[in-house]
Amino acid sequence: MKAALVVLLFGVVSAFAQEPFTIAAAEAACGPKEAQFDAQPASTQMLTTQPMTQPEAGKSLVYVVEVFEKAMNQFARPTLRVGLDGKWVGAAKGDSYLSFSVDPGEHHLCTRWQSHWKRFSDKEAFNGFTADPGKIYYFRARIIEGEDNFALDLEPVNGDEGKYLVASSAVTVSKPKK
C-alpha cells in the first residue's frame, strides 16, 4: 500500500515538474516578450512592394490572418504579434494578414496579443506544422471572447478558406518599435 502511494505521489510530482518545461518549450516559438510592433492594415499607397502570392523557389509561404470579431469592441483593433521558431516575424492588426517564407521542415508558430494591459498581453496561442517546398499554409488567429476573459486561437485552415480570408483582409505593414 505504501509503495503504491509513493509511486502515485512520485507521478504527481513528476507531472507538476514537467509543466513549466512544457510551457517554456511552447513559448520558445515566440520572440522576446518585451518586443513591440507598430502595425497597421495597409492601403495600396502604403505598400512599397506587393505581397507574395507564391512561395519562393525551394521554400513555403505562410499566411497568418487575424480575424477580429467586431462585436467584442467596434473601436478596438488589437495587435497580434506572430512568431516563428523563436523570432517575431511581424504583427497583424484587426482583420489583416501577414505572410512570410519558410524553409522546408518542422516549424513552431506563435501569436501573442500586444497590449499595455497585463490581462491581454499574457494571451498567446501556438501551432506547429511541417513545411513542404512550394506549398502555401494558412493560419487563422482570432480572439475568442468568454464571459469574463479572452483567449487566443491559432488554427490552420484549408486553402479555400485561407484564400477567402486573405482576399477579404488587408495586408499588414508592421515594423518593430524602437
- Model pLDDT for residues 50-106, shown as the tens digit of each residue: 566 788 899 999 999 998 765 455 546 788 999 999 999 999 988 899 999 999 999
CB 66, CB 146: distance < 8 Å:
no
Q: What is the DSSP letter of 155?
A: E
- Which three three-digit cell numbers place residue 171? 495586408
Does position 110 have pLDDT exceeding 90, yes or no? yes
More confident residue, 108 or 37: 108
Model's pTM, two decimal places? Answer: 0.78
pLDDT value at residue 118: 64
Helix, strand counts (H, E) of the chain: 3, 10
Domain 2-176, architecture per CATH: Sandwich (2.60)
Listed residue (32, 28, 145) closest to 81, CA to CA? 32
- Which three three-digit cell numbers place residue 176? 518593430
Phi and psi for 156 in degrees, rounded to 5? -70, 145
How many residues comprise the chain?
178
Does position 141 have pLDDT exceeding 60, yes or no? yes
Place of cell 477567402: 164
Beta bridge partners of 33: none
